[in-house]
Structure 1
Amino acid sequence: MTTTTTRAPVLRGPVDGPFLAPGDMAEAVTDFHRAGAAERRWDVETAVDWTAADANRLTDGQRSAVRFITLIEDHLPGYFAVYTRRFPLTDEVSEQDFAHHRELYHFTVRWAVEEDSHARALFRYQTDSGIACPDDLRRELAAEGRKPFELPHDESVALFAYALVQEKATQIYYQQLRSVVGDPVLAELLNRLSRDEARHFAFMADILERYLRVYGDAVVEPIRDVIAHFRMPLADTMRGYWRWALRIADAARYDHTDAYEHLIRIVNRAVDAPSDRVDELTRFVAACRTAAPLPLTTPAAVPPAAASA
């Protein structure tokens, strides 16, 4: 019998550059905000009919999937802390870097609000549908939420590349789960969550394209490193993560490497005349894709997180 071990991550300081020019970051952030205009936003309290939520319409696997993604989404404070720790707004950074981080912060706070809404909505669904009682669920979330979170990368572009894959993978999973769940309330909620994740992915895609256009080969290796060591959030800290992944494998097909084809498209779109290093990157990413659905026995195909970040 395999025993799952957890380990506390090493918390890292400010990331290394290169960074985009503050004006370039500001353009990407403005486009993100435009895509999430007020008329497209939704409110947890009024967006769905919570009185109609009914977990009796779900299979055991679907219930387990809801519990799993709630734990992942609720870790938002840890994800947000990564941005504030790795892109600090303090006197320890230069004025130029501060200006970049300040523009990024305009994205980060909106992203955090939206991801926190995901956590609150999934909490509400669990309690109103009959999956869990509020006090028990709060204790369960607190047990995982107290654990720190970190990404094992020191280059800024690597953090954006990681978030790009994670956001797209989460979007794909929510779409897959939505297509099979029996409760229309949950299906509507997952649709809203997946649309938010699509916008988050679009922002990261914009950032990564800008990096590739400006820095070219200089950012290839950090992106490659992300794919070489990719693991979804909390895979190393949540007790029973892999066993839980096995339990909910039948809820909806999921393979995070499905997101890799989107990364390849972004690289190809950003680079007009690919260098040997860029060509090698796209070949490597393509080779890392799962050729066929796996039985969720390895990190190559596990249920996702959302956070979001």
Structure 2
Amino acid sequence: MPVRSIGLPADDLDRSVTAFMAATPVTRRWDVERDFDWGAADANRLTDGQRSAVRFITFIEDHLPGYFALYSSRFPLDADTDVETFLLNREIYHFTVRWAQEEDSHARALFRYQVESGISAAEPLRRELAEEGRKQFSLPHEHPAALFAYTLVQEKATQIYYQNLKAVVGDPVLAEVLNRLSRDEARHFTFMADMVENYLHHYGDSVVEPIREAIAQFRMPLADTLRGYWRWALRIADTAHYDHTEAYEHLVRVVRRAVDAPSDRVDELDRFVRACRALPADSR
């Protein structure tokens, strides 16, 4: 059943959205067409594993319509939405459309890099992305705090991966693309962290369990739909010395920062995350 309301005061949402917008003034935004030396892009400077990583993350970023559709369905803005719920959902929509625009730029930049560097021709790449893009994206989380906690982890994990990949790639053009993407993901993480803190300030320990469920059921986007996902994910993780569970601890830090005093539930969440991180990679 879709979440019908964010369940936070409109003033709290406005502060979070305004802080996010203020972090990206027009003068600091980047442009796919003008901010990269596409003519110098050269995939011959990459290892096979790094080429594979570029292809993988392009699929992930290009699924943006599915991610946006999920948020639109969970926080609807239609005639069936009561006025009080609408005004809260409208606040979060301000963030969602900016977030979607930035994520779509990520997809376009990675597509452009593949074409300009020689990894793929444009037409077959478009068709590959369309085959995956038409698949529905879904998440099991009904509580909005769990949804934002999931996205917090996903954004931080993506930021970490882009930073690690940037550190090893041999093409300066790709390194700059990854640098821009990483900075955006860091800001998206900060917004999601702000939202999780809002829930903890407003509802206290009662939202720790939904947050725990977000970790317990966590899978990176497209894990259940992209063909060969797990084998591919393990290969690209090795390429950039990456473990997505590093992001779990960032969530725990957000929770501990938001609560006045550690509780049994918060301590249990901390222990649970550490147990998850201790599992072998192929069992997570």
Q: What TM-score, normalized to structure 1?
A: 0.89
Which of 3, 7, 14 is 2:2 aligned to?
14
1:215-234 C-alpha deviation (Å, 9 max, x unpaired): 01111111010111100010
Please say if 1:275 is aligned against 2:263: yes
SS in 1 for 2:245: helix
> Mean alpha-carbon deviation: is it higher for 183-192 or for 276-285?
276-285
* CA deviation map 1:17-69 (0-9, x unaligned): 56111111111000000001111100000111000000000000000000000
Q: After the TM superposition, which of the residue ranges 85-94 and 116-125 deviates more from structure 2?
A: 85-94
One-letter code of the match for 2:196? L
Query: Does structure 1 residue 111 correspond to structure 2 residue 102?
Result: no
The answer to whether structure 1 residue 238 and structure 2 residue 226 are counterparts is yes
Which whole-Å CA distance do the structure 2 matches of 1:97 and 1:279 have between them?
Answer: 33
Rounded Cα–Cα distance in structure 2 between residues aligned with 1:121 and 1:111 = 15
| Amino-acid identity (%) | 70
Contact 1:16–1:154 at 8 Å: present in 2 too? no
- Name the residue aligned to 2:134: 146
Aligned counterpart for 2:52 among listed residues 64, 74, 97:
64
The aligned residue for residue 10 of structure 1 is: none
RMSD of the alignment, in Å?
A: 1.3
1:103 is aligned with what amino acid?
A: E
Larger relative contact order, structure 1 or 2 (CA cutoff 8 Å, min sep 6): 1
Report deviation, 1:288: 1.7
> Is the CA contact (8 Å cut-off) linking 2:64 and 2:103 kept in structure 1?
yes
Q: Contact conserved, 2:155 with 2:186, CA < 8 A, in 1? A: yes
Is the 8 Å Cα contact of residues 15 and 154 (structure 1) preserved in structure 2? yes
Unaligned runs of 5+ in 1: 1-12, 301-309
Q: Deviations over 1:56-88 (max 9, x none)?
A: 000000000000000110000000000101100
Which deviations, in whole Å up to 9, do the C-alpha atoms of 1:113-147 show, x marking residues without a partner? 00000000000000000000000100110110010
Alignment CA distance shift 1:246-1:274 (3 Å):
closer
Are 2:274 and 1:286 aligned? Answer: yes
Structure 2: which amino acid aligns with 1:297?
D
The code of the aligned residue for 2:34 comes to T
Alignment gaps of 5+ in structure 2: none
* Alignment-derived partner of residue 8 in structure 1: none
- Once the two structures are TM-superposed, the CA of residue 275 in structure 1 deviates from its matched residue by 2.3
1:197 aligns with 2:185: yes
How does 1:169-184 map onto structure 2 within 5 Å?
A: 169-184=157-172
Contact 2:17–2:94, Cα closer than 8 Å, also in 1: yes
Residue 151 of structure 2 corresponds to which residue in structure 1? Answer: 163
Correspondence for 2:211 = 223
Aligned to 1:303: none
Cα separation, 2, equivalents of 1:234 and 1:262: 22
Residues 223 and 163 of structure 1: CA distance in aligned 2, closer, same or farther (over 3 Å) = same
1:179 aligned partner, one-letter code: A
Distance 1:282 1:17 in 2: 28
For 2:40 and 2:131, locate their aligned partners in 1 and report how far apart those are by CA, in whole Å.
29
Change (3 A) 1:27 1:100: same
Q: Higher helix share goes to which structure? A: 2
Cα separation, 2, equivalents of 1:122 and 1:178: 13
- Rounded Cα–Cα distance in structure 2 between residues aligned with 1:265 and 1:83: 25
Partner-residue secondary structure (3-state), 1:250: helix
The aligned length equals 284
Change (3 A) 1:32 1:249: closer
Q: Distance in 2 between matches of 1:85 and 1:148?
A: 12
TM-superposed deviation, 1:247: 3.3
Q: 2:74 maps to which residue?
A: 86
